[in-house]
């Protein structure tokens, strides 16, 4: 940067010297040409302003380069410590094509930097694949992706809480430590709730779970639906094992199967018998 400043100063000196000689020649030869002098001064002022701008630019570039240099120095200090634990294999491993980056003899931590797992930093996520946004007809929907410390596998997922897991396609997690581990368009909206698979299933309250099936809902605390279609477990710790259009609305109630069965009272039980019509 100093070299550029000296070059600029030399340009000013040379220009000023030329101006003095020109002015002197005009004075010696007679009455000085005031207009010519004013033009020369204006030209010098313009050159000085240009040089000042160039110097300011060089200062900014120098500051940027200094920051990058410090970053590289820090990275170079950490790299030797990584060398024993990281290796690259360019070929296939067990039938999977390379290249492979291998971590050996270490634990890998992915953290948001907040000091806690449950936070709102939108950092600390591990995304496997591209998690492409949903197409809602008016273009890609990139909303509702503000969660932290979440494992995300597959496309079109949405996540707004911490400590979750999503796999499959188009699934949503909106509560702490909830998970949707497969299927499509499933929702886990209760803390610690889970949906294991299927389609259009919902686990909406604390500890609720849906194992699979279609359009099933577990909306009671720690309630569960194991499968089937359009079943609901809305009582606390109630369960529906399968079938269709069944409801367990009493606390600790259970429907084992069949169709259009209801267990509405506490500890109630209903089942589609082996020899019964639905």
Distance CA 164, CA 122 (A): 12
Q: How far is CA 251 from the centre of its chain?
A: 39
pLDDT in tens, 258-272: 999 999 999 999 987
* 130 φψ region: left (φ > 0), alpha (ψ -120 to 50), beta (else): alpha
Q: pLDDT at position 135, please?
A: 87
Integer Cα distance of 167 and 152 in angstroms: 6
pLDDT band (50, 70, 90) for residue 3:
very low
Rounded mean pLDDT, 87-105 = 96
pLDDT at 22: 52
d(CA 205, CA 235): 11
Comparing 142 with 156, the larger pLDDT belongs to 156
Instruction: Dump pLDDT digits (tens) for 200-240.
Output: 999 999 999 999 999 999 999 999 999 999 999 999 999 99
CA-wise closest residue to 204 among 229, 227, 182, 172: 172
Spacing of C-alpha 146 from chain mean position:
7
């Amino acid at each position: 940067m100093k070299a550029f400043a000296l070059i600029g100063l030399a340009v000013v000196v040379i220009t000023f010297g030329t101006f003095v000689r020109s002015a002197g020649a005009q004075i010696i030869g007679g009455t000085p040409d005031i207009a010519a002098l004013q033009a020369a001064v204006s030209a010098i002022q313009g050159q000085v302003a240009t040089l000042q701008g160039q110097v300011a630019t060089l200062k900014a570039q120098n500051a940027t380069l200094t920051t990058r240099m410090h970053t590289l120095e820090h990275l170079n200090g950490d790299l030797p410590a990584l060398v024993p634990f990281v290796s690259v294999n360019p070929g296939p491993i067990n039938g999977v094509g390379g290249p492979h980056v291998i971590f050996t003899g270490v634990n890998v931590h992915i953290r948001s930097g907040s000091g806690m797992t449950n936070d709102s930093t939108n950092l600390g996520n591990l995304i496997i694949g591209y998690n492409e946004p949903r197409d809602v007809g008016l273009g890609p929907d990139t909303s509702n992706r503000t969660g932290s410390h979440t494992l995300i596998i597959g496309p079109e997922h949405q996540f707004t809480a911490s400590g979750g897991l999503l796999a499959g396609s188009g699934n949503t997690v909106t509560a702490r430590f909830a998970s949707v581990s497969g299927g499509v368009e499933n929702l886990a909206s209760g803390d610690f709730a889970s949906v294991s698979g299927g389609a259009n299933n919902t686990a909406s309250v604390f500890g609720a779970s849906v194992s699979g099936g279609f359009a099933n809902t577990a909306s009671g605390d720690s309630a569960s639906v194991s499968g089937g279609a359009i079943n609901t477990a809305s009582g606390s710790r109630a369960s529906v094992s399968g079938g269709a259009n069944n409801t367990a609305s009493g606390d600790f109630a259970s429907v084992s199967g069949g169709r259009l069965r209801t267990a509405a009272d506490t500890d109630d039980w209903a089942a589609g018998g082996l020899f019964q019509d639905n």
